[in-house]
Chain A
Amino acid sequence: LAISKQLTELMGGQIGAESEIGVGSTFWFTIRCIKSTIQQTRNSAGSQLQLENSSTPFSLDSLRELCIASGVRALVAEDNITNQKVALAMLRKLGLRVDAVANGREALEALRSIPYDLVIMDVQMPEVDGFEATRIVRSVRGAVLNPSIPIFAMTAHAMQGDREKCLAAGMNDFIAKPVTFQALAQLLNRWLERMDFSTRSCSTRPFCATGKLEPEAPVFALAELLERLMGDHPLAQTVVNAFLLDVPNQLRELETLIEGHDPVALGRLAHRLRGAAASAGATALAQRAEELEHAAANSEPAAIRIRLRELDEHFEAFKCELLNSSFLKQKGPEK
C-alpha cells in the first residue's frame, strides 16, 4: 500500500481505503491521464474492435484514392515470404506502390537510395532485426534519405513490453500479426492524413488506378521521338518495334545477372537498356534503367532487385500505352 500511495501521488492522484468489519473493503485510487492519440493494439481481433469504435470513420475508397493520387510508396521488411506476400497484396489493394526486402540490412540499403514514404517492418528478422534497423534509420550513421520516415512495426506478440521496445527504438506505430486488411487500412488512414505529399520528387510518381504509370517523365514520348526522326513515322515504328522485341531479352539477361552477383556486368546491361529505351522514346523506362545502373555501380543488392522489378513494371506500362494508342497501327504522313 505504501508503494501504491507513492505511485498514485507521483501520477497526480490520490489513494484511499474504506473498510467495514464483516462487510468488506473498497480500495480506490485516482490518477490523471492524457487521452492517447495512438491506438494501441492488444491482439488482432481486439485491435480491430477498438479501432472501429474509436477512430473516425473513413472510406476505403477515399484512402485508396489518397494513396494513388499521392503516389504513396511503402517498403515492407519481412523475412517470412508468405507474410511478405500477404502484406504486399494488401498494400497494393490499398493503392500503394510497394517493395519488399527480407531483413533490416536490405531495408537500410533500400532506404538509402529510394525515397519511400513509409516502412512496415517485422521486428524479428535475421541479420538486422526491426529494432536495430529502426535505430540505424534514425541515427546519422544510417545515411538514409529520410531519417524521420514513419516506421510501423509488425509484431506477433503484441505484448506491452514489445510495444514499448518498438517505440523506444524509434518506431512510430505498430500492427499486430497476423495483419488484417482492416487493421492495416486503419493504420495507414491514421498516418497518411498527417503526411504532406505536396513536395515529392518525380521518382516517386504513382501508378494510376488502371495500372498505368503517371510519372513526370512520359512513358512514351512520341512527339519527342518524331521530332528526333524529323517526322519519319515509319522509322519511329521500326525503332519502337525493335525495342519491343528486344527488351524482354534484356530483362531476362538482367535477371540472370542478379543471380550471378556481378554488379559490373549488370551495370553495363542496365546502361544498354537505358540507351535502347532512350532511342525508342521510352523516357520513363530509360530513367529507371539509369537508376538501376546507379544501384549496380553502388553494389546495392536490395535496391538492384527493386529497380529491376520497376523496370518490368515500366515495360508493361510502355506496352500498355502503345497498345492503347494507334501509334503502331497508324500509317503516318509520308515524309
Chain B
Amino acid sequence: MRTLIVEDDFTSRLLLEQLLREYGPTESAANGRQAVEAVSRALNLRQPYDLICIDIIMPEMDGQEALQEIRALETKHGKNSGAGAKIVMTTVSRDKTDIIKAFREQCDGYLLKPVGKPALLDCLKELGLPI
C-alpha cells in the first residue's frame, strides 16, 4: 500500500508516517500544492498512491482545493470515481460542514485529530485497504 500524507504540522505528520509505514512506503507533503505535485508525479510514473491522508486546513493550498485537483488529475489519467486513491481527510475540527464539503469533493473517509491507531485501522479496513 502506497501512502501520501499531506499535513503541514510536523508532529502530526510524523505520527501518521510512523503509524502507516508498516503497511507500505509512505511519502509526505506539507501543503496542498505539494500534494498535487506528488500525485501528478506518481500518476506519471504509473505508481499511484493507494491512500492519501490529507489535512483540511493548510497554508498555500488547503485540503479541499487539493482534493478537487487530485480528483481532476486522476480523471485525466483515466481513473474515474472509485478507481483513484482512497482519500481520508484528517481534521481537528468537529465542524460537520467541513466534513460534508470534503465528501462532496469526493474524499472517502475522515479521521478526527489527534489520529489514533485504532481509529486509523478501522477506517482503512472500512475502505478495503490491504492492512
Contacts and interface: CB of A to CB of B under 8 A. Distances in A.
Task: Answer yes or no: are A and B bound together in one complex.
Answer: yes
Contacts of A242: 10-11, 14
B113 A275 contact: yes
Contacts of B113: 275, 278-279
A274 B117 contact: no
Interface in B1-55: 7-12, 14-15, 18-19, 55
B15 A279 contact: yes
Interface size class of B (residues with CB under 8 A): 20 to 34
A238 interface: yes
Given A274-B92, A275-B55, A228 B117 contact: yes
A242 B114 CA distance: 15
B82 interface: no
Given A275-B113, A278-B114, A268 B11 contact: no
Contact of B57 (A228, A271, A280, A281): A271
A242 B17 CA distance: 13
Contacts of A268: 57-59
A278 to B, nearest CB: 4
Query: For A238, A271, A274, which residue has the most chain B Cβ atoms within 10 angstroms?
Result: A271
A174 to B, nearest CB: 45
A227 B59 CA distance: 30
Contacts of A239: 11, 14-15, 18
Contacts of A271: 57, 92
A280 B11 contact: yes
A243 interface: yes
Nearest to B12: A279
B30 to A, nearest CB: 10
A252 B18 CA distance: 27
Nearest to A289: B92
A279 B9 CA distance: 10
Interface string A216-240: 0000000000011110100100110
Nearest to B16: A279
19 contacts: A228-B118, A229-B116, A230-B116, A235-B19, A239-B11, A239-B18, A242-B11, A243-B11, A246-B10, A265-B59, A268-B58, A275-B55, A276-B9, A276-B10, A278-B12, A278-B113, A279-B9, A279-B11, A279-B113
Shortest beta-carbon contacts, A-B, top 8:
A228-B116, A276-B11, A278-B114, A279-B12, A243-B11, A279-B114, A246-B10, A275-B9
